[in-house]
Amino acid sequence: MQKLAPAIAKTVLFIALFCLFASLVDSSNFISLNVANHFAKWLHGNANQENYDELWFFTDVILSLVLSFISYKLISRLFRKASNRKTQIT
């Protein structure tokens, strides 16, 4: 049980960070219709609204995952440093 609790806490932290960034990231603000159109023509050979939504969705998910991973690693390092200081002080 002592090894299971930290694993669950880490998983919950990552999911919470992912949900936070998923609500904040909106790739339609920085990927214009023109860029999405060119991407859809390159990938599928034609462009329609479904292709735009696909590009925006995958960009949102990938950015949310990357930002969550980076934030998770930073938070983990901060906790590790704080616990190392605590053990050095005592």
What is the domain partition of the chain in residue ranges? Answer: 4-89
Residue 86, pLDDT above cutoff 80: no
Reported as a pLDDT band with limits 50, 70 and 90, residue 13 is very high
- Residue with the bigger pLDDT between 3 and 67: it is 67
- The rounded distance, in Å, linking the Cα atoms of 55 and 36 is 7
Question: What's residue 90's pLDDT?
Answer: 59
Asked if residue 52 lies in contact with residue 40, where contact means CB atoms within 8 angstroms, the answer is yes
Helix axes 33-44 and 49-89, enclosed angle (nearest 10): 100
Q: pLDDT digits over 14-72, tens only?
A: 999 999 999 999 887 888 878 878 888 887 788 777 767 778 888 899 999 999 999 99
Instruction: Kindly report the pTM of this predicted structure.
Output: 0.78
